[in-house]
Chains A and B, each alone.
Chain A
Amino acid sequence: AQSVAQPEDQVNVAEGNPLTVKCTYSVSGNPYLFWYVQYPNRGLQFLLKYITGDNLVKGSYGFEAEFNKSQTSFHLKKPSALVSDSALYFCAVRDIESGYSTLTFGKGTMLLVSP
């Protein structure tokens, strides 16, 4: 079975500082990996995905994520945080072998960026 772990319930960072939101995954085959962001009273918005190729993936709003197969991780990063980045972030995984497989989400990490 596939699973995602987001070990931090909350990440606090000062505006202008770099941020990292951690994600590790477990799949039987090779993964497709996704990051979504959820603002209050809003649905999930797609940020970026890793399918294949370059381990560093760039996405919306200046976010990027690094795929590390040996550590089974897909951490979300941004060089300089903004207060408006404060939101709930979800990592998700699909097993590459299963065309219809479930998109499995982690429990989410709340990012709080202070002015």
Chain B
Amino acid sequence: EAGVAQSPRYKIIEKRQSVAFWCNPISGHATLYWYQQILGQGPKLLIQFQNNGVVDDSQLPKDRFSAERLKGVDSTLKIQPAKLEDSAVYLCASSLVSGANTEAFFGQGTRLTVV
């Protein structure tokens, strides 16, 4: 089966600009996650969707980050305006269901550099 697709793979922007990332999860996966992975750190959950509803966005910096999952399939993550500290790899993942015992499958990520 096809994996989690993300685009773009790389993005370089200047601070205060805006940027958007796109994710297409594995077909049939109800749960979608966005993680931020800063160099030298483990992934940190930004937001978790169950179908098109948000179930956890407690660590999303809502003053500048937003995410949506229209129709419960594809998702976009937006940053506006970007800061230098937003430089990271943004990982999208999906899982079949949202139960605690289910593993998540990850895309290749989008590497964002803010200059």
Which residue of chain A is the closest to B99 with respect to CB atoms? A99
Query: In this assembly, does A51 line the interface, its C-beta being within 8 Å of a C-beta of chain B?
Result: yes
Chain A residues contacting B99 (CB-CB under 8 Å) are 99
Whether A90 and B43, one on each chain, are in contact in the complex, defined by CB atoms closer than 8 angstroms, is: yes
The contact of B105 among A4, A46, A51, A107, by CB within 8 Å, is A46
Instruction: Tell whether A105 is near chain B: CB-to-CB under 8 Å.
Output: yes
Say yes or no for B72: interface residue by CB 8 A criterion.
Answer: no
Residues of the B chain whose Cβ atoms lie less than 8 Å from the Cβ of A104: 45
Cβ of A98 and Cβ of B108 under 8 Å apart? Answer: no
**Chain A residues closer than 8 Å to B50, beta-carbon distance:** 100
Contact B106 A43, beta carbon cutoff 8 Å: yes
8 Å CB interface, B38-57 against A: 40-45, 48, 50, 55-56
Indicate if A12 sits at the interface (CB-CB under 8 A): no
- The tally of residues in A whose CB lies under 8 Å from a CB in B reads 28
A16-70 with Cβ < 8 A to chain B:
32, 34, 36, 41-46, 49, 51
**Using an 8 Å CB-CB cutoff, how does the interface string of A95-107 with B read, 1 for contact, 0 for none?**
1101111111111
In the complex, the chain B residue whose C-beta lies closest to that of A42 is: B108
How far, in angstroms, from A104 to B98 measured CA to CA in the complex? 14
Q: B56: which A residues are within 8 A, CB to CB? A: 100, 102
Q: Mark B7-18, 1 if CB is under 8 A from A, else 0.
A: 000000000000
* Known contacts A90-B42, A107-B41: A100-B98 contact under CB 8 Å: yes
Tell me if A46 and B103 are in contact (CB < 8 A): yes
B100 at the interface (CB under 8 A from A): yes
Closest A-chain residue to B43, C-beta based?
A105
Which residues of chain B are within 8 angstroms of A106 by Cβ–Cβ distance? 42
| CB-defined A-B contacts under 8 Å, sample of 10 | A36-B106, A43-B91, A43-B107, A43-B109, A44-B91, A94-B100, A94-B101, A99-B100, A102-B48, A102-B56
Known: A32-B100, A99-B100; 10 extra A-B contacts, CB below 8 A, are A43-B93, A44-B91, A49-B101, A51-B101, A90-B43, A99-B99, A100-B55, A103-B104, A106-B42, A107-B40
The 8 closest A-B pairs by CB, nearest first: A105-B42, A43-B106, A44-B106, A94-B100, A46-B103, A51-B101, A43-B108, A100-B55
